[in-house]
């Protein structure tokens, strides 16, 4: 749907500009990224005490609504494209795993964002029309916001990480010189993660006074979602095991992803234990968890994908030596920045604060975290220099620099506007491998696809 694609793009741009324009008008959102009620109400309580009566949160709410609509449109477009416009012979069981994860992510966008959009509409009505959906003094419930927000917010975590899973599933086989281990398990575990992501939202709310049966359900579902995630990690390790590994930039970022995401997953599983969660909720332990998952996970995978597909997009390599320097700086910086936060959380340092008492015992750990953050910043500067230098003077990459497996590498680098003069016919999960090595093609040697 080209028009829907255009609508999604321009609505995203307008929504983002609208949200950022709040800074220009001196009305920046001031309710935090979570915008919890009743703090984000214009007036609170029966005495109408002013909370955030300005336009600050109105900018946030309207911007979020626009961005939500745009994301739903984009999700619909991806679903239709993936289901209807595959190459001849490419059954859904032969799709690249990156396409699989994109498909699941798109469904999550379609079904998760309406709850946040609805919550934002209700809060805007509270603030500007005088309704009381979240006003306890008038029969509303401020926890309604948390339920609606997190019923979007936890699928959102998987909206961010599932594409990363797809990238890793494309990079590891190429640089291990092996087919992906357990293709079907990786694909359907992604579907299972997408489904289960809608059943775990209230683990963000264990401390708000949920009934014991609700706590038990959400603790169990949170533990359960670790199973399909562990399936993926097992399959990735099995893919690498015994392979002829090439430690190029995409591969080292992919391996770094596995290690860092595993740490984030383990401390996330700890948070599913309700008594432990009581002790560390709203502390820096939670901050550490989310950063190991989303920085060690999504960001490392994005860099793996960037180094992997940059030659295809531009026709030039990124500098390998600078990429290696960036990786080690980023890996060390990340662990310096975020690992001490585990200890800060266990020592009781709350999140969402801008300062703390000097005698709290957190000074040294925060100093280490600050050094790590600066190291991450320097690593990103190395990356920027690498990109700029490579675009100007980078080594030419050729059509298939990695001896890869999938169809995009069967085109020129960068690709022509039409991609293929004639549509390729797909006979296995590694169609370009089949073309390059017809005597040992997958469709000849693998009986079932």
Q: Write the secondary structure of 70-119 as one string of H (helix), E (strand) and C (coil).
A: HHHHHHHHHHHHHHHCCCCCCCHHHCCHHHHHHHHHHHHHHHHHHHHHHH
Backbone angles phi, psi at 217, to 5 degrees: -65, -50
Q: How far is CA 25 from CA 15, 54, 56, 227, in A?
A: 16, 11, 9, 47
pLDDT at 333: 98
H-only helix segments in 294-355: 300-314, 320-346
pLDDT along the chain (449 residues), means of 10: 91 94 88 88 68 84 94 96 94 96 97 96 92 90 96 95 97 96 96 96 94 96 95 97 96 98 94 95 96 96 98 96 98 98 96 90 96 98 97 93 94 91 91 88 62
Which one, of 431, 444, 429, lies nearest residue 93 by Cα?
A: 429
Would you call 191 exposed, middle or buried from its count of C-beta atoms within 10 A (0-12, 13-18, 19+)? Answer: middle
User: What token pair was written down for 206?
Assistant: 């264990």
pLDDT at 446: 59
Q: State how far the Cα of 355 lies from the Cα of 3, in Å rounded to an integer.
A: 48
Q: Are the C-beta atoms of residues 399 and 359 closer than 8 Å to each other?
A: no
Adjacent-strand bridge partners of 247? none
Q: How far is CA 41 from CA 45, 133, 149, in A?
A: 10, 10, 15
pLDDT at 93: 94
Q: What residue ranges do the domains of the chain occupy?
A: 1-245, 249-415, 419-449
User: Counting every residue, how long is the chain?
Assistant: 449
* DSSP assigned state of 41: S
Query: Cα Rg for the chain, rounded, in angstroms?
Result: 24
Residue the block writes with tokens 């019923």: 151
pTM of the model: 0.94
pLDDT at 45: 63
For the chain, give the longest Cα–Cα distance. 81
Domain 1-245: CATH architecture, name and number where available: Up-down Bundle (1.20)
Which residues contact residue 99 at a Cβ distance below 8 angstroms, ignoring those fewer than 6 apart?
82, 166
pLDDT at 38: 87
User: What token pair was written down for 208?
Assistant: 């708000």
Q: State how far the Cα of 292 lies from the Cα of 266, in Å rounded to an integer.
A: 10
DSSP 3-state of 449 = coil
Q: Are the C-beta atoms of residues 126 and 132 closer than 8 Å to each other?
A: yes
% helix, strand, coil for the chain, step of 5: 70, 0, 30
Q: State how far the Cα of 230 lies from the Cα of 344, in Å rounded to an integer.
A: 27
pLDDT at 1: 83
Degrees to nearest 5, angle at CA 98 with 440 and 309: 80
Backbone angles phi, psi at 350, to 5 degrees: -75, 150
Specify the long-range contacts of residues 437-445, CB closer than 8 Å, at least 24 apart.
442/179
């Amino acid at each position: 749907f080209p028009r829907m694609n255009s609508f999604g793009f321009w609505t995203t741009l307008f929504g983002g500009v609208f949200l950022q324009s709040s800074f220009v008008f001196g009305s920046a959102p001031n309710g935090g990224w979570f915008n919890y009620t009743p703090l984000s109400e214009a007036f609170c309580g029966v005495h109408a005490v002013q909370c955030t009566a300005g336009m600050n949160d109105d900018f946030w709410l309207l911007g979020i609504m626009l961005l939500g609509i745009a994301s739903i449109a984009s999700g619909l477009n991806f679903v239709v494209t993936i289901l209807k416009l595959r190459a001849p012979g490419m059954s859904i069981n032969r799709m690249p795993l990156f396409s699989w994860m994109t498909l699941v992510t798109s469904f999550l966008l379609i079904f998760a964002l309406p709850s946040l959009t609805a919550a934002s509409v209700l809060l805007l009505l509270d603030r500007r029309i005088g309704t009381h959906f979240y006003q306890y003094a008038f029969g509303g419930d401020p926890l309604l916001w948390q339920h609606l927000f997190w019923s979007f917010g936890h699928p959102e975590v998987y909206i961010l990480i599932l594409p990363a899973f797809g990238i890793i599933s494309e990079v590891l086989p190429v640089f291990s010189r092996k087919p992906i281990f357990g293709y079907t398990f990786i694909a359907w575990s992604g579907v299972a993660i997408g489904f289960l992501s809608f059943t775990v939202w209230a683990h963000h709310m264990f401390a708000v006074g949920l009934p014991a049966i609700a706590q038990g359900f959400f603790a169990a579902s949170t533990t359960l979602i670790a199973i399909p995630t562990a399936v993926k990690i097992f399959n990735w390790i099995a893919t690498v095991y015994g392979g002829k590994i090439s430690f190029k930039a995409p591969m080292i970022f992919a391996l770094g992803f596995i290690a860092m995401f595993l740490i984030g997953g383990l401390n996330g599983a700890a948070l599913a234990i309700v008594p432990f969660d009581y002790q560390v909720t709203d502390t820096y332990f939670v901050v550490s968890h989310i950063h190991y998952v989303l920085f060690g996970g999504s960001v490392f995978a994005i860099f793996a994908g960037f180094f992997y597909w940059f030659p295809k997009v531009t026709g030039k390599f990124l500098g390998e030596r600078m990429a290696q320097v960036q990786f080690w700086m980023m890996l060390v910086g990340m662990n310096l920045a975020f690992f001490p936060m585990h200890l800060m959380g266990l020592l009781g340092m709350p999140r969402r604060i801008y300062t703390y008492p000097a005698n709290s015992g957190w000074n040294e750990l925060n100093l280490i975290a600050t050094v790590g953050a600066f190291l991450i910043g320097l690593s990103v500067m190395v990356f920027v220099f690498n990109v700029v230098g490579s675009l100007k003077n980078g080594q030419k990459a050729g059509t298939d620099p990695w001896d890869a497996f999938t169809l995009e590498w069967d085109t020129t680098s960068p690709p022509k506007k039409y991609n293929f003069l004639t549509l390729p016919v797909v006979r296995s999960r590694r169609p370009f491998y089949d073309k390059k090595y017809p005597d040992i093609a997958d469709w000849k040697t693998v009986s079932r696809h």
